Protein backbone atom coordinates (compact mmCIF):
# COMPACT_ATOMS: atom_id res chain seq x y z
CA UNK A 1 0.00 0.00 0.00
CA UNK A 2 1.31 3.41 -0.74
CA UNK A 3 -0.04 6.44 1.01
CA UNK A 4 0.44 10.10 0.37
CA UNK A 5 -0.53 13.07 2.49
CA UNK A 6 -1.24 16.61 1.40
CA UNK A 7 -2.06 19.23 4.03
CA UNK A 8 -5.22 21.10 3.03
CA UNK A 9 -4.39 24.00 5.38
CA UNK A 10 -7.77 23.45 7.07
CA UNK A 11 -6.36 24.56 10.44
CA UNK A 12 -8.13 21.82 12.44
CA UNK A 13 -4.87 20.78 14.10
CA UNK A 14 -4.62 24.26 15.69
CA UNK A 15 -7.76 23.61 17.75
CA UNK A 16 -8.34 21.58 20.90
CA UNK A 17 -4.90 20.05 20.89
CA UNK A 18 -2.30 19.16 23.50
CA UNK A 19 1.12 20.09 22.10
CA UNK A 20 4.18 18.30 23.50
CA UNK A 21 6.98 20.89 23.76
CA UNK A 22 10.72 20.76 24.16
CA UNK A 23 12.13 22.64 27.17
CA UNK A 24 13.09 25.63 25.03
CA UNK A 25 9.71 25.64 23.31
CA UNK A 26 8.02 25.47 26.73
CA UNK A 27 9.96 28.53 27.84
CA UNK A 28 8.85 30.45 24.72
CA UNK A 29 5.26 29.19 25.18
CA UNK A 30 5.15 30.46 28.80
CA UNK A 31 6.80 33.77 27.86
CA UNK A 32 3.91 34.32 25.44
CA UNK A 33 1.55 33.87 28.42
CA UNK A 34 0.08 30.52 27.34
CA UNK A 35 -0.95 27.59 29.54
CA UNK A 36 1.19 24.54 30.10
CA UNK A 37 0.70 21.29 32.00
CA UNK A 38 3.03 18.41 32.80
CA UNK A 39 2.34 14.77 31.99
CA UNK A 40 4.13 12.10 34.03
CA UNK A 41 4.15 8.42 33.08
CA UNK A 42 5.89 5.61 34.98
CA UNK A 43 7.50 2.68 33.19
CA UNK A 44 8.35 -0.26 35.52
CA UNK A 45 12.02 -1.01 34.91
CA UNK A 46 14.47 -3.73 35.82
CA UNK A 47 17.82 -2.05 36.33
CA UNK A 48 20.58 -3.31 34.04
CA UNK A 49 17.97 -4.32 31.46
CA UNK A 50 19.97 -5.09 28.28
CA UNK A 51 18.98 -2.55 25.64
CA UNK A 52 18.19 -5.14 23.03
CA UNK A 53 16.01 -3.11 20.69
CA UNK A 54 15.01 0.39 19.66
CA UNK A 55 11.93 0.40 21.88
CA UNK A 56 14.00 -0.16 25.04
CA UNK A 57 16.64 2.34 23.93
CA UNK A 58 13.97 5.00 23.36
CA UNK A 59 12.34 4.23 26.70
CA UNK A 60 15.62 4.53 28.57
CA UNK A 61 17.08 7.56 26.83
CA UNK A 62 13.93 9.71 27.05
CA UNK A 63 13.25 9.01 30.73
CA UNK A 64 14.86 9.51 34.13
CA UNK A 65 15.29 7.04 36.93
CA UNK A 66 12.95 6.91 39.91
CA UNK A 67 11.36 4.51 42.33
CA UNK A 68 7.94 3.84 43.75
CA UNK A 69 8.56 2.07 47.04
CA UNK A 70 10.53 -1.04 46.12
CA UNK A 71 9.65 -0.86 42.43
CA UNK A 72 12.24 0.63 40.07
CA UNK A 73 10.66 2.82 37.46
CA UNK A 74 11.61 5.31 34.79
CA UNK A 75 9.65 8.52 34.38
CA UNK A 76 8.63 9.91 31.01
CA UNK A 77 7.84 13.59 31.61
CA UNK A 78 6.21 15.68 28.90
CA UNK A 79 5.71 19.44 28.87
CA UNK A 80 2.35 20.02 27.21
CA UNK A 81 1.08 23.33 25.83
CA UNK A 82 -2.71 23.30 25.90
CA UNK A 83 -5.73 25.39 25.01
CA UNK A 84 -9.43 24.97 24.49
CA UNK A 85 -10.84 25.92 21.11
CA UNK A 86 -8.23 27.74 19.01
CA UNK A 87 -4.51 27.95 19.72
CA UNK A 88 -3.65 31.32 21.31
CA UNK A 89 -1.11 31.84 18.51
CA UNK A 90 -3.83 32.06 15.85
CA UNK A 91 -4.79 35.47 14.52
CA UNK A 92 -8.33 36.50 13.57
CA UNK A 93 -7.81 34.97 10.11
CA UNK A 94 -6.89 31.64 11.71
CA UNK A 95 -3.26 32.01 10.66
CA UNK A 96 -0.39 30.95 12.92
CA UNK A 97 1.36 34.12 14.13
CA UNK A 98 4.52 32.24 15.08
CA UNK A 99 4.70 30.09 11.95
CA UNK A 100 8.48 30.40 11.50
CA UNK A 101 9.12 29.43 15.12
CA UNK A 102 6.17 27.11 15.73
CA UNK A 103 6.83 24.03 17.88
CA UNK A 104 8.28 20.91 16.28
CA UNK A 105 5.11 18.97 17.09
CA UNK A 106 3.12 21.40 14.91
CA UNK A 107 5.62 20.80 12.11
CA UNK A 108 5.21 17.03 12.05
CA UNK A 109 1.43 16.76 12.50
CA UNK A 110 -0.27 14.40 11.58
CA UNK A 111 2.74 12.08 11.65
CA UNK A 112 3.82 10.29 14.79
CA UNK A 113 7.04 11.03 16.63
CA UNK A 114 7.37 7.40 17.72
CA UNK A 115 8.10 5.16 14.70
CA UNK A 116 6.50 2.21 16.51
CA UNK A 117 3.11 3.91 16.61
CA UNK A 118 1.12 3.11 13.49
CA UNK A 119 -0.34 6.23 11.96
CA UNK A 120 -4.09 5.94 11.69
CA UNK A 121 -5.75 8.77 9.73
CA UNK A 122 -8.99 8.06 11.63
CA UNK A 123 -7.32 9.31 14.83
CA UNK A 124 -6.20 12.56 13.21
CA UNK A 125 -8.01 15.84 12.65
CA UNK A 126 -7.13 16.07 8.95
CA UNK A 127 -10.04 15.88 6.49
CA UNK A 128 -10.38 12.93 4.11
CA UNK A 129 -9.15 15.10 1.25
CA UNK A 130 -5.71 15.30 2.87
CA UNK A 131 -5.19 11.54 2.58
CA UNK A 132 -4.55 9.98 -0.76
CA UNK A 133 -4.48 6.26 -0.30
CA UNK A 134 -4.23 3.81 -3.14
CA UNK A 135 -5.64 1.09 -0.95
CA UNK A 136 -9.30 0.30 -1.56
CA UNK A 137 -10.07 -0.95 1.88
CA UNK A 138 -8.98 0.59 5.13
CA UNK A 139 -7.31 3.94 4.93
CA UNK A 140 -5.07 2.63 7.71
CA UNK A 141 -1.38 3.00 7.09
CA UNK A 142 0.35 -0.21 8.04
CA UNK A 143 3.98 -1.09 8.44
CA UNK A 144 6.71 1.39 9.26
CA UNK A 145 5.11 4.75 8.51
CA UNK A 146 8.52 6.44 8.50
CA UNK A 147 8.96 5.28 4.90
CA UNK A 148 6.06 7.53 3.97
CA UNK A 149 7.21 10.66 5.73
CA UNK A 150 8.69 13.42 3.61
CA UNK A 151 12.26 14.49 4.23
CA UNK A 152 11.55 17.71 6.18
CA UNK A 153 9.06 16.00 8.46
CA UNK A 154 11.53 13.19 9.09
CA UNK A 155 14.21 15.73 10.01
CA UNK A 156 11.80 17.31 12.52
CA UNK A 157 10.82 13.92 13.96
CA UNK A 158 14.52 13.21 14.51
CA UNK A 159 14.97 16.63 16.14
CA UNK A 160 12.14 15.92 18.60
CA UNK A 161 13.75 12.62 19.60
CA UNK A 162 17.24 14.11 19.96
CA UNK A 163 15.90 17.06 21.96
CA UNK A 164 13.84 14.76 24.19
CA UNK A 165 17.05 13.01 25.17
CA UNK A 166 18.89 16.29 25.89
CA UNK A 167 15.93 17.59 27.93
CA UNK A 168 15.76 14.65 30.35
CA UNK A 169 17.92 16.20 33.09
CA UNK A 170 16.00 19.51 32.92
CA UNK A 171 12.74 17.61 33.27
CA UNK A 172 13.99 15.79 36.34
CA UNK A 173 14.97 19.13 37.90
CA UNK A 174 11.54 20.59 37.04
CA UNK A 175 9.76 17.69 38.79
CA UNK A 176 12.05 18.02 41.83
CA UNK A 177 11.62 21.80 41.98
CA UNK A 178 7.84 21.66 41.66
CA UNK A 179 7.55 18.78 44.14
CA UNK A 180 5.85 16.55 41.58
CA UNK A 181 5.71 13.02 43.00
CA UNK A 182 2.63 11.45 41.46
CA UNK A 183 2.47 9.73 38.10
CA UNK A 184 0.25 7.70 35.85
CA UNK A 185 1.31 4.22 34.78
CA UNK A 186 2.35 4.05 31.14
CA UNK A 187 -0.43 2.70 28.88
CA UNK A 188 -2.84 2.78 31.82
CA UNK A 189 -3.88 6.43 32.07
CA UNK A 190 -2.64 10.01 31.87
CA UNK A 191 -1.83 12.19 34.88
CA UNK A 192 -1.45 15.89 34.06
CA UNK A 193 -0.05 18.32 36.64
CA UNK A 194 -1.62 21.78 36.31
CA UNK A 195 1.33 23.94 37.28
CA UNK A 196 1.72 27.63 38.13
CA UNK A 197 3.12 29.10 34.89
CA UNK A 198 5.10 31.85 36.65
CA UNK A 199 6.75 29.36 38.99
CA UNK A 200 7.56 27.00 36.12
CA UNK A 201 9.01 29.80 34.02
CA UNK A 202 11.24 30.87 36.91
CA UNK A 203 12.49 27.30 37.28
CA UNK A 204 13.19 27.06 33.55
CA UNK A 205 15.14 30.31 33.67
CA UNK A 206 17.33 29.13 36.53
CA UNK A 207 18.38 25.74 35.12
CA UNK A 208 22.06 26.22 34.35
CA UNK A 209 24.74 23.72 33.26
CA UNK A 210 26.13 23.66 36.82
CA UNK A 211 22.68 22.94 38.32
CA UNK A 212 22.30 20.13 35.76
CA UNK A 213 25.73 18.70 36.60
CA UNK A 214 24.87 18.84 40.31
CA UNK A 215 21.55 17.08 39.66
CA UNK A 216 23.32 14.31 37.74
CA UNK A 217 25.65 13.75 40.72
CA UNK A 218 22.80 13.36 43.17
CA UNK A 219 21.79 9.76 43.69
CA UNK A 220 18.58 10.22 45.70
CA UNK A 221 15.48 9.60 43.62
CA UNK A 222 11.92 10.82 43.87
CA UNK A 223 9.70 8.24 45.57
CA UNK A 224 6.69 8.27 43.25
CA UNK A 225 3.07 7.39 43.89
CA UNK A 226 1.62 5.61 40.86
CA UNK A 227 -2.05 6.21 40.03
CA UNK A 228 -4.23 3.60 38.43
CA UNK A 229 -7.99 3.31 38.33
CA UNK A 230 -7.86 -0.46 37.83
CA UNK A 231 -8.18 -2.56 40.99
CA UNK A 232 -6.25 -5.48 39.48
CA UNK A 233 -3.32 -3.27 38.41
CA UNK A 234 -3.34 -1.60 41.82
CA UNK A 235 -3.05 -4.97 43.55
CA UNK A 236 -0.26 -6.05 41.18
CA UNK A 237 1.71 -2.88 41.89
CA UNK A 238 1.22 -3.15 45.65
CA UNK A 239 2.29 -6.80 45.55
CA UNK A 240 5.71 -5.76 44.17
CA UNK A 241 6.13 -3.09 46.86
CA UNK A 242 5.06 -0.04 44.87
CA UNK A 243 3.31 2.97 46.37
CA UNK A 244 0.29 2.77 44.16
CA UNK A 245 -3.06 4.37 44.65
CA UNK A 246 -6.43 4.95 43.04
CA UNK A 247 -6.74 8.74 42.58
CA UNK A 248 -9.13 10.29 45.15
CA UNK A 249 -10.62 12.41 42.42
CA UNK A 250 -9.96 12.61 38.69
CA UNK A 251 -9.63 16.36 38.65
CA UNK A 252 -8.42 18.89 41.22
CA UNK A 253 -6.73 22.31 41.06
CA UNK A 254 -3.35 20.60 40.75
CA UNK A 255 -3.99 17.35 38.89
CA UNK A 256 -6.11 15.88 36.14
CA UNK A 257 -6.24 12.11 35.74
CA UNK A 258 -7.58 10.56 32.55
CA UNK A 259 -8.01 6.78 32.76
CA UNK A 260 -7.48 4.62 29.70
S1 LIG B 1 1.59 27.19 17.31
FE2 LIG B 1 0.79 27.74 15.28
S3 LIG B 1 0.84 25.80 14.12
FE4 LIG B 1 1.00 25.28 16.30
S5 LIG B 1 -1.11 24.89 17.00
FE6 LIG B 1 -0.65 27.06 17.42
S7 LIG B 1 -1.39 28.17 15.62
FE8 LIG B 1 -1.23 25.99 15.05
S1 LIG C 1 -5.50 19.19 10.30
FE2 LIG C 1 -4.15 18.16 8.80
S3 LIG C 1 -4.81 18.96 6.80
FE4 LIG C 1 -5.62 20.37 8.37
S5 LIG C 1 -4.02 21.96 8.59
FE6 LIG C 1 -3.59 20.38 10.12
S7 LIG C 1 -2.10 19.01 9.12
FE8 LIG C 1 -3.09 20.22 7.49
Which tens digit of pLDDT belongs to each residue from 75-96? 999 999 999 889 999 999 999 9
* Closest C-alpha to ligand 1, atom 8: 14
Ligand 1 atom nearest the C-alpha of 95 is: 7
- Give the mean pLDDT of the chain: 88
Average pLDDT score over residue span 229-242: 96
- What's the gap in Å between 175 CA and the centre of ligand 1? 26
* Residue bearing the bigger pLDDT, 85 or 120: 85
**Closest ligand to the CA of 91:** 1
Ligand 2 atom nearest the C-alpha of 130 is: 3
Going by C-beta distance under 8 Å and a sequence separation of 6 or more, which residues neighbour residue 127? 8, 10, 12
User: Is it the case that residue 20 has pLDDT exceeding 70?
Assistant: yes
Distance of alpha carbon 180 from alpha carbon 80, whole angstroms: 15
The most confident of the ranges 108-112, 129-133, 215-219 is 108-112
SS3 readout for 95-110: CECCHHHCCHHHHHCC
**Closest ligand to the CA of 95:** 1
Distance of alpha carbon 23 from alpha carbon 139, whole angstroms: 35
pLDDT at residue 178, rounded to an integer:
96
Instruction: Return the closest-CA partner of residue 21 out of 92, 98, 93, 74.
Output: 98
- Least confident segment among 58-67, 144-153, 232-241: 144-153
Distance of alpha carbon 222 from alpha carbon 178, whole angstroms: 12
Ligand 1 atom nearest the C-alpha of 19 is: 5
Average pLDDT score over residue span 6-21: 91
Phi and psi torsions of 63, nearest 5°: -130, 165
pLDDT tens by residue, 56-68: 999 999 999 999 9
* DSSP code string of 146-167: GGGS-HHHHHHHHHHHHHHHHT
pLDDT tens by residue, 173-204: 999 999 999 999 999 999 999 999 999 999 99
Using DSSP's 3-state secondary structure scheme, residue 259 falls into strand
Contact 115, 148 (CB under 8 A): no
pLDDT at residue 235, rounded to an integer:
97
- What's the gap in Å between 89 CA and the centre of ligand 1? 6
Ligand 1 atom nearest the C-alpha of 99 is: 2
Cα within 13 Å of Cα(217), Cβ side = 6
pLDDT at residue 3, rounded to an integer:
52
User: Is it the case that residue 149 has pLDDT exceeding 90?
Assistant: no
Percent helix, strand, coil in the chain (nearest 5)?
35, 25, 40
Q: Other C-beta atoms within 10 Å of 259: how many?
A: 15
pLDDT at residue 247, rounded to an integer:
92
Contact 195, 179 (CB under 8 A): no
Q: Are strands 3-5 and 71-82 parallel, antiparallel or unpaired?
A: unpaired
* Residue bearing the bigger pLDDT, 210 or 169: 169
pLDDT tens by residue, 97-118: 999 999 999 999 998 888 778 7
**From the CB of 28, is ligand 1 less than 6 Å away?**
no
**Which pLDDT band holds residue 146 (cuts at 50, 70, 90)?**
very low
Distance of CA 214 to the CA centre of its chain: 25
**Which pLDDT band holds residue 54 (cuts at 50, 70, 90)?**
confident
For the chain, the domains span 3-259
Going by C-beta distance under 8 Å and a sequence separation of 6 or more, which residues neighbour residue 17? 82, 83, 87, 125
Amino acid sequence: MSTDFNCTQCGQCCHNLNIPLTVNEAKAWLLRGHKLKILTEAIPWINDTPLTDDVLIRKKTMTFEGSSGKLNIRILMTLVGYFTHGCPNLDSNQRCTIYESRPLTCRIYPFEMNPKIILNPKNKLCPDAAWKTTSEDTGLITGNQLFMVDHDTQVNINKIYTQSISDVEDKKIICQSLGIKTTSLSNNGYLFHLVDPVKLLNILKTITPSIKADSQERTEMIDWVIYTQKEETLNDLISVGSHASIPDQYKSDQEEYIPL
